[in-house]
Amino acid sequence: MDLIRHSVIPRYLIGGAVGAATNVFSLFLLVEIFGVWYLLAAVWSFLIAWLVSFLLQKYWTFQNYLTENGALQKQASYFFAISLFNLLLNTLLIYIFVDFFRWWYLLAQVFSSALIAISSFFLYKRFVFQQ
């Protein structure tokens, strides 16, 4: 398969893991080290992780260097919209898995993240970083 042969999928997964780690680490730093209110820190850590994820997915995963004619701004806007949708979808899925199916919240998060990662890959490849 073309995706595996060119190692796009492993790069995508690693980029996603780095983005998630950036979110958690920056949240911890903002709250525990800098004393920022946890909800404000959550917003800032989401934005920091978004920037890291966008740059990794654009330049490393999909190796998309297109910047002319506003392409970078358009890609960033689409990526941000998908990220916000994913945040809402993640919250909804966790709620459903925990409150209706009685799953453990961490299992719900892992399963939800996997579903979102799969769908996001195709959205990013098809609409954001077209190849």
Copy the structure tokens of residue 46. 């989401």
For residue 7, the SS3 value is coil
Domain that holds residue 48: 2-128
pLDDT tens per residue, range 20-48: 999 999 999 999 999 999 989 999 999 99
Per-residue pLDDT for 104 more than 90?
yes
Q: What is the DSSP string of 100-115?
A: IT---HHHHHHHHHHH
Question: What mean pLDDT comes out for the span 78-93?
Answer: 95
Residue where the block lists tokens 């009685």: 102
Cβ within 8 Å of residue 121, ≥6 positions away = 9, 12
Q: What angle do CA 96, 37, 76 make, to 5 degrees?
A: 65
Number of domains in the chain: 1
Per-residue pLDDT for 1 more than 80?
no
DSSP one-letter code for 1: -
For the beta carbon of residue 17, count every other beta carbon within 10 angstroms. 12
